[in-house]
């Protein structure tokens, strides 16, 4: 999870936009990223797009990936992700990068998304075997208003060699880092007037890519949820990113003359500030939101959940109780909402908190193995403790050595004792685990366990609960 929410390049004064001169062509692009199925803002966004198209009839509309995951109305729909693809089609998207959350469903569901979409999905650093027929393109070239354009797609790749998605969904494909692959497309510069990287790599990687690939005209980015409020050029490359959840969009204008970009400008637009809604899109969103099974209230929150840790404590309590484990763990990135209001908790809330449908796995571990597991989860989370139930624990990290101190809720901790430890299948697949057995699937997802837990307890109060430090 990235903590950067806003980014302002340093020591780069904003320059005034020069007027378009004779012989120049202005290419207009509206870009968003990490929409995460926030369909409720689509009526305003579609109205914004229509307003811009009234001025710029040839407006291009790009997404830098992660269209899905974050709204149960979309993620639990049958077929999965149908609302988002439908709304993107209706709004007239032209291109989309493949984000890590595009892989949250299995390969067949991703293929269905690509087949339903009226726009290409781009990713040049995924390697797909012959016969898989996934339909992802590394890049596209096209002529737009007489301007030859090339757009290349890239996705973030972590140190373990895959994007941030469940490994079980990535077994048939492989990846290389964008820094290794992008230079192979340098030849596109010689064949096109405009070359754009549509990146789902995150702002830090995008800045690095701009420094090492000055032949690009622009990087339209996503993944880190960064709002670059005043986009400017890095090493001659315009770098943009529009936050997340469709709250903002970035409007890019490139001026081209004699087969060369001679001017670049980008401004951030506030989607929430749009006063009008497009009626046709509003009707579609209302119909998608009419989901009685998701709107069922299953418990009451007696107080507001103020932060993800309080939600993570509730989720791990549910996992531990239903699985009858001694301890339960949840990775921090698996809790997807920052807070939850006081009052009724609905099924939709549950799938908003944890949208991944990961099954729960229970391992038998000795106390010593458990300590190493907690250390490994801390490392995997980038220096953040995982959420836990059944204990509290403290991590001491001086930058060279990591020590963990575990305090069970009941009894004394013993390094030779055998404990039942529950976690979701994502953690089981991505964290280094030493255990007595190979783990036993409970054949229930964490969401199903949380629903059962809430229905049983009827009221919950986790305000101020913290179990790690």
Among 232, 263, 289, identify where a domain stops. Answer: 289
C-alpha 314/C-alpha 316 separation (Å) is 6
Residues 116, 246, single domain; the answer is: yes
Residues 40, 93, single domain; the answer is: yes
Residues 263, 335, single domain; the answer is: no
CATH number reported for the structural domain that contains residue 142 in this entry: 3.60.21.10
Residues of the domain holding 374: 297-460
Residue 277 within any structural domain of the chain: yes
Here the tokens at position 197 are 């990287």
Residue 469 within any structural domain of the chain: no
Residue 17: which pLDDT band, with cuts at 50, 70 and 90?
low
Residue 1 within any structural domain of the chain: no
C-alpha separations of 179 from 26, 98, 184, 231 in Å: 30, 17, 10, 22
Residues 285, 304, single domain; the answer is: no
Residue 41 within any structural domain of the chain: yes
Here the tokens at position 143 are 């002529």
Residues 221, 359, single domain; the answer is: no
Q: What is the pLDDT of residues 179-238, one digit of tens each?
A: 999 999 999 999 999 999 999 999 999 999 999 999 999 999 999 999 999 999 999 999
Residue 312 within any structural domain of the chain: yes
C-alpha 409/C-alpha 394 separation (Å) is 14
Residues 245, 312, single domain; the answer is: no
Residues 258, 376, single domain; the answer is: no
C-alpha 84/C-alpha 36 separation (Å) is 9
Torsional sign, CA 408, 409, 412, 414: negative
Residues 323, 280, single domain; the answer is: no
Among 258, 289, 320, identify where a domain stops. Answer: 289
The pTM of the full predicted model, rounded to 2 decimals, is: 0.87
Query: Total domain count for the chain?
Result: 2
Residue 452 within any structural domain of the chain: yes
Among 263, 289, 315, identify where a domain stops. Answer: 289
Residues 282, 310, single domain; the answer is: no
Q: What is the pLDDT of residues 225-282, one digit of tens each?
A: 999 999 999 999 999 999 999 999 999 999 999 999 999 999 999 999 999 999 999 9
CATH number reported for the structural domain that contains residue 323 in this entry: 3.90.780.10
Residues 85, 136, single domain; the answer is: yes
Q: What is the pLDDT of residues 341-370, one digit of tens each?
A: 999 999 999 999 999 999 999 999 999 999
């Amino acid at each position: 999870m990235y903590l950067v929410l806003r980014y302002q390049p340093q020591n780069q004064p904003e320059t005034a936009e020069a007027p378009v001169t004779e012989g120049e062509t202005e290419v207009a692009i509206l870009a968003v990223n990490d929409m995460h199925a926030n369909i409720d803002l689509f009526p305003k966004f579609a109205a914004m797009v229509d307003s811009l198209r009234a001025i710029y009839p040839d407006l291009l509309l790009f997404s830098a990936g992660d269209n899905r995951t974050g709204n149960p109305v979309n993620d639990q729909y049958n077929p999965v992700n149908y609302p988002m693809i439908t709304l993107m089609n209706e709004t007239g998207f032209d291109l989309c990068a493949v984000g890590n959350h595009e892989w949250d469903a299995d390969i067949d569901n991703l293929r269905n998304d690509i087949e339903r979409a009226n726009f290409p999905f781009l990713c040049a650093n995924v390697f797909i075997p012959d016969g898989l027929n996934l339909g992802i393109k590394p890049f596209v070239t096209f002529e737009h208003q007489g301007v030859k354009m090339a757009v290349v797609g890239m996705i973030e790749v972590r140190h373990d060699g895959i994007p941030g998605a469940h490994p079980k969904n990535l077994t048939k494909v492989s990846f290389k880092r964008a820094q290794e692959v992008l230079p192979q497309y340098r030849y596109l510069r010689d064949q096109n007037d405009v070359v754009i990287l549509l990146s789902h790599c995150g702002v830090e990687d995008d800045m690095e890519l701009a420094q090492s690939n000055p032949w690009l005209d622009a990087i339209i980015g996503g993944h880190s949820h960064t709002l670059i409020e005043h986009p400017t050029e890095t090493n001659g490359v315009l770098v943009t990113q529009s936050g997340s959840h469709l709250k903002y969009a970035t409007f890019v204008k490139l001026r081209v003359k004699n087969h060369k970009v001679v001017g670049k400008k980008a401004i951030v637009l506030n989607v929430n500030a749009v006063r009008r809604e497009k009626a046709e899109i509003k009707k579609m969103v209302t119909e998608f939101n009419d989901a009685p099974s998701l709107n069922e209230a299953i418990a009451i929150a007696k107080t507001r959940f103020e932060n993800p840790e309080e939600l993570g404590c509730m989720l791990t309590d549910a996992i531990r109780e239903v699985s009858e484990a001694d301890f339960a763990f949840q990775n921090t990135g698996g809790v997807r909402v920052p807070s939850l209001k006081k009052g009724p908790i609905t099924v939709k809330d549950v799938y908003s908190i944890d949208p991944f449908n990961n099954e729960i796995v229970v391992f038998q571990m000795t106390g010593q193995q458990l300590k190493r597991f907690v250390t490994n989860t801390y490392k995997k989370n980038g220096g953040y403790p995982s959420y836990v139930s059944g204990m509290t624990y403290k991590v001491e990290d001086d930058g060279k050595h990591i020590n963990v101190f575990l305090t069970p809720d009941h009894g004394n901790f013993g390094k030779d004792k055998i404990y039942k430890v529950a976690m979701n299948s994502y953690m089981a697949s991505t964290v280094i685990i030493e255990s007595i057995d190979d783990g036993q699937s409970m054949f229930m997802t964490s969401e199903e366990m949380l629903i059962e837990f809430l229905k049983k307890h009827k009221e919950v109060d986790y305000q101020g609960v913290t179990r790690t430090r």
